[in-house]
Structure 1
Amino acid sequence: MGFLFRALPWFLGALAAVAALGPALGPGYVLRYDMVFVPDLSLATVLAGADGFPRAMPSDAVVAALSLVLPGDVVQSLALAAVFVLGFVGAFRILSGAVRAAGGPDVVGAVAGAAAGLSYVWNPFVAERLLLGQWAVLLGYAGLPWVLAAVVRASTEPASRGLAGTLRALIPAAVGGFSSVALSALTAGPQALLGPRRWRTAGLLVVALVLVSLPWLVPSLTSGATTDPAGVEAFAARADTPFGVLGSLLLSGGVWNAGAVPPGYGEPVAAAARALLVAVSLAGWVWWARRHRPAMAAGLSVAAVAGTTIALAGATGPGREVLTALIGWWPGFGLLRDGQLYVAPLALLQALGSGAVLVWLLRGFSEDARRGSGPSRNVSEVGLVRTMVAVFVALGPVVVLPGLAWGAGGGLVPVDYPREWTRAQEAVAADPGSGAVLVLPWSAYRGVEWSGRPVVVLDPATRLFDRRTVWNDDLRVGTPDGGTVVVAGEDARAREAARLLEPDPRTGMPTADPGEWAEILSSLGVSHVAVSAPVDNRFSSDFPGLEMVVQGDDMTLLEVRDQHMNVDKEGISGLEVTGGLVTVGAIIWSMARSGSSLGFQRPQPRTDRGARKEIPK
């Protein structure tokens, strides 16, 4: 029975993953917005990075390492499934552990835990981030329950064991990167400061966060990247329900990109049902916090309020001014631009509240049975109401958000890369030189014609090759009033390429004199040009100094002849290598040192006072 109880959440989490992802778990690559997996992603190129902020570190490095032993599409399927499994199990075990600590039966803990787990992985936040392709962010989101529980434990354990447990819980955030680490800090930080032995616990959390951040923190300090304050307006939370921006955020929605809203969500009936479910879950959280006084009640409540405040800031005039000033003072505050990201702690609070409602309802059934109440009309009516509420809370997340089911309503469909793409990849890999690859058209996001259906995605050619790519990392975002905000990119070489090549804003192709292309490309250290779109058959003949290597309907690869280039730096700096090795070593030590598992901890006595060119819309 013990084994079955431990295995149950993993099985249910896997079931939720299959129900949500469906065809996305099959053969092929799911391409959508920021989600770009390619065959044989180059680990060396990922580690070498570029001139901008290392946003894809270390998630791309982990994908590249796994791709050495597994096909790229299998790695993608595992990453997507891990979001649902880890998130479900984390929320499940907090609730079930709470019931067990209070002396409740395992059956009640299992039902309540399942409700919490389903609510945590099946909500607008998960659906919208998934449709944005932000799998790495969602992996960090899935780890939040584990991090929160680890911090609760760390306040009562020896320092070394507490640090090891916190490091181990932060592994999903370590893979997810800087946004995931920020969410972990927001969710667990208040708990560390409000729980027992607050300063020691907070210190352990800070040390753990710094250790898992080294792979992206170290290169960011030397990249010289800047953050465009225009992103504050572009990435501000927006209303995706009839309840305005604040109401949408409280329902854990409000993403800035209208193309990431799941099918059917935001319609008045669905939004009203979601609002009712959220209200019930918040009531459950209040009841649970007041009645059972869980150790994480105050900390998670503060985190949820703080996160919602941050999420709302960019949608208000004064808030935008503050965020713009902060980013102008230090680019690191660019983390706060994507406001809706910070409702993640609120989503966890609501999920645990849903589980608490099930605890209350099941306790009511048990009390009726103990009293031996007969089949009176009043008792029957009360039982019917309780049953209806229990079913609504348990299954409501799926019922009110069917647009997440089976590949997000068809939004996540795997495709195969055309043969000419893999030929281009092989041709560049066979070149002994070290020049970069210029990716055209000059647009970050494109409509991929060969996908078989309309889809907007970060140009996969930017990840395809085993060397540095130069591409337009500017982001054009449509605004609700029909305008466009351009968020400047962070790659210095890309800015120089745009200045010299003068790309046409309409076509994304350079307008510079074709006779000067070879010289310009050589000065940029570019040895190849990859055009990931159909071109005219005479395309290469128009550009002296460039030789056709691969030509197909969807990919053209040109090589620069007689190059005298500024060759890229090989490898990565010793400081960056050291940072990565320290993180890996810390994680290995934590897994060897920590013998505990995620579990709910009851409050301990306190010794101190607590408290085409495509534009994403």
Structure 2
Amino acid sequence: MASAVLLPKSQGKERIDLAGRPYLAFLWAAFLTALIAGPWLLPGYLFGTDWPGPRRFEFPSSASSEMVLYAVLALASRVLGGELTSKLFVLGALFASAALAYRAVPSKGFLSGAAAATIYVANPFVYGRLHYGQFFVLAAYAALPWMALRLRRLVGEPGVGTALVAALSLAVLGVLSLHFLLIAGVLYVAVVVAYVLAARPMLPYLKRLVAPLVIMFLAVFAASAYWVVPLLRGTNSEGARLAGIGLGDLNAFAAIPDRSLGIVPNLLGLYGFWAEATGRFTSMKAFVPAWPAALGVLLILCGVGAFAALRDRDQGLAPWVLGLLAGAIAALILEIGISYPLTARIVQWLYAEIPTYRGMRDAGKWGAMLALVYSQLVGFGAVAILAWLKKRVRDPVGSEWVAGFAAALVLALPLYCGNGLLFGAHGEIKPSAYPAGWYAADRLLSSDTHPGRTLVLPWHEYMSYSFVQNRNNVIASPAPGFFSVPVLVSADPEVPGISPPQDPDQLVVSGLVRDGAKGDWGQVLAAYGVKYVVLTREVDWHSYAFLDTQPGLTKVGDYESIVIYAIHPQA
């Protein structure tokens, strides 16, 4: 009988208070969020390389994993406006990261939860993604601890209820970022295998677990079928993007080593994001000069936590910790990826045999798994160290003083490791305002009852914008999220090794840009439904001076920061 199966004690009624005091989790999460994002509440739009300060969000026009999230943002922006919607989204992701990491730690008590929340939200992984505006990634990152908690409940108490809630967490993860389903998949395999091997006898537990796992898988598929089926068929935008990813992408977005310590210490420190090599933003290491020493202390603390959990049979968390460690090792190998010959073979095989793995071309995303494991083990370590200190110091008053000092050090460590994020990344990320000329241009374009399409120049997908106050002011074109009319912008990231887009619109405009004054801009653009050309006075805008004398183009507006031409093709 299943009830006679001898399992780790967590595989039944857990003896640990998983919830603790919920309000403490929320208060600490609010404190960390304010410490990081307080300056972003000032007026202005938030910008990042992949988050070009959207003034408006459009409802999705095709099925994709993110269509639900886009729809929610579009609805919110209709009510609150794009500026406030963006800020609530980013602050919500930071708050949820901290609160869920706090709540997901199996150890009870404020210190373990607060330490877990701090190390999870204040680290180089989050720092780099904020600078690059990868807010969808951060939203999925925020949900990762919840997924881990539901996984632990599922393997601890296999049943229909735990399976369905686990399925919900995975479905939400897929909505926020498809990449994180792969991360969750690796953790699921590691943890399930660890629990099965730890069960005594093994077979009865496996029989109890199989049905809930099947139910969970079917529920996730049913909830995600609207995007999974088109993705597998290659008929939606995500399927097309996956098909277009080549080995050049893997090289372009590979994890990078530290100049002195190499690749492994860099990745263990949650550094290694490919964008760190661009020099567009200050490295977190500038704010944490002793980061190798801090990393060493963090790893020791995690090691103490793992050792304590493995020894404590009363709590029965040994298989959970072993699963976490196995998941961390797998994530580290995959994050190293093509940056090391041995691991490169593994990634190249995955790329060739499993097409969906191409979505992990940015190997640094595997760092999210390491951050999750750190947050779990740090909580164990903090509790173990405090318990040891209280036993060593027999004087009650002295014991409290020593424990308080140790607790302060435990919380100070992750704050030091992630202090580059504090106060709006030390002012490197600031709210910014669009120039008045952009609003005037939008009024002119939207006054046309049949505006057609508007071509936006200069012809770069990513470029520097003078009005963006961030240290890194290279962003994707803000035009699609700003103007009220359909726009045509470059989709070429201009990254070495990545092929430019091959769709007709992109090829035609790229050809005109190459031809310069020799191109027949009016005739060609009119044939492709373009009625206006917008030239923002940014970067290499001087190279488009010939537009003033182009046949078929008439300047109809000059608003200092932006110029508008109307297209009147000659007969």
TM-score (norm 1): 0.76
Q: Structure 1 residues 261, 553: closer, same or farther in 2, change over 3 A?
A: same
Bigger drift between 57-66 and 528-537 goes to 528-537
Matches of 1:549 and 1:3 in 2, distance apart?
62
Q: Residue deviations 1:129-172, cap 9 Å, x none?
A: 21221111011111111011112223466755334412443465
Matched AA of 1:154: L
In structure 2, runs of 5+ residues without a counterpart are: 1-17, 196-204
* Preserved contact between residue 303 and residue 345 of structure 1 (Cα < 8 Å): yes
Q: What residue in structure 1 maps to residue 551 of structure 2?
A: 544
Correspondence 1:402 to 2:429: no
Cα shift at 1:80: 1.3
TM-score (norm 2): 0.81
* Preserved contact between residue 91 and residue 117 of structure 1 (Cα < 8 Å): yes
* Preserved contact between residue 288 and residue 416 of structure 2 (Cα < 8 Å): no
RMSD (Å), alpha carbons: 3.4
Cα shift at 1:193: 5.0
Q: Structure 1 residues 532, 403: closer, same or farther in 2, change over 3 A?
A: same
Bigger drift between 404-413 and 420-429 goes to 420-429
The correspondence of residues 189-208 of structure 1 with structure 2, limited to 5 A, is 189-195=189-195, 197-208=208-219
Q: Residue deviations 1:407-430, cap 9 Å, x none?
A: 112121001112222333344444
Cα shift at 1:459: 1.7
* Preserved contact between residue 474 and residue 486 of structure 1 (Cα < 8 Å): no
Q: Structure 1 residues 215, 12: closer, same or farther in 2, change over 3 A?
A: farther
Matched AA of 2:61: L
The correspondence of residues 412-431 of structure 1 with structure 2, limited to 5 A, is 412-431=429-448
Q: What residue in structure 2 maps to residue 283 of structure 1?
A: 304
Matched AA of 1:255: F
* Preserved contact between residue 107 and residue 380 of structure 2 (Cα < 8 Å): no
Q: What residue in structure 1 maps to residue 526 of structure 2?
A: 522
Q: What residue in structure 1 maps to residue 131 of structure 2?
A: 131
The correspondence of residues 251-330 of structure 1 with structure 2, limited to 5 A, is 251-258=269-276, 259-260=280-281, 262-265=283-286, 268-291=289-312, 292-294=315-317, 296-320=320-344, 323-324=347-348, 326-327=350-351
* Preserved contact between residue 65 and residue 174 of structure 2 (Cα < 8 Å): no
* Preserved contact between residue 14 and residue 81 of structure 1 (Cα < 8 Å): no
The correspondence of residues 159-238 of structure 1 with structure 2, limited to 5 A, is 160-170=160-170, 173-195=173-195, 197-211=208-222, 213-214=224-225, 216-217=227-228, 220=231, 221-222=234-235, 223=237, 224-225=240-241, 226-238=244-256
Correspondence 1:500 to 2:511: yes
Question: How many positions carry a matched residue from both structures?
Answer: 526
Q: Structure 1 residues 231, 67: closer, same or farther in 2, change over 3 A?
A: same
2:99 to 81, 89, 95: 89
Cα shift at 1:446: 1.0
Q: What residue in structure 2 maps to residue 470 of structure 1?
A: 488
Cα shift at 1:359: 0.9
Q: Structure 1 residues 530, 519: closer, same or farther in 2, change over 3 A?
A: same
3-state SS of paired residue (1:143): helix
* Preserved contact between residue 227 and residue 331 of structure 1 (Cα < 8 Å): no
The correspondence of residues 4-23 of structure 1 with structure 2, limited to 5 A, is 5-23=21-39
Matches of 1:324 and 1:518 in 2, distance apart?
46
Q: Structure 1 residues 388, 487: closer, same or farther in 2, change over 3 A?
A: farther
Matches of 2:214 and 2:485 in 1, distance apart?
40
Matched AA of 1:293: G
3-state SS of paired residue (1:39): coil
3-state SS of paired residue (2:456): strand
3-state SS of paired residue (1:451): coil
* Preserved contact between residue 277 and residue 393 of structure 1 (Cα < 8 Å): no
Cα shift at 1:230: 0.7
Correspondence 1:438 to 2:455: yes
Q: What residue in structure 1 maps to residue 76 of structure 2?
A: 66
Matched AA of 2:99: V
Cα shift at 1:29: 0.9
Cα shift at 1:119: 1.2
Q: Structure 1 residues 290, 464: closer, same or farther in 2, change over 3 A?
A: farther
The correspondence of residues 234-253 of structure 1 with structure 2, limited to 5 A, is 234-240=252-258, 242-253=260-271
Q: Structure 1 residues 211, 125: closer, same or farther in 2, change over 3 A?
A: farther
* Preserved contact between residue 194 and residue 322 of structure 2 (Cα < 8 Å): yes
In percent, how many aligned pairs have the same letter? Answer: 24
Q: Residue deviations 1:501-521, cap 9 Å, x none?
A: 2x35xxxxx62634x212322
Cα shift at 1:540: 4.6
* Preserved contact between residue 120 and residue 351 of structure 1 (Cα < 8 Å): yes
Correspondence 1:554 to 2:543: no
In structure 1, runs of 5+ residues without a counterpart are: 100-108, 478-484, 505-509, 565-617
Cα shift at 1:494: 5.0
Matched AA of 1:184: A
Matches of 2:281 and 2:187 in 1, distance apart?
24
Cα shift at 1:246: 0.7
Q: Residue deviations 1:253-289, cap 9 Å, x none?
A: 1111123554444865233223322332233233223
Q: Structure 1 residues 241, 410: closer, same or farther in 2, change over 3 A?
A: farther
Matched AA of 1:182: L
3-state SS of paired residue (2:266): helix
Q: What residue in structure 1 maps to residue 374 of structure 2?
A: 350
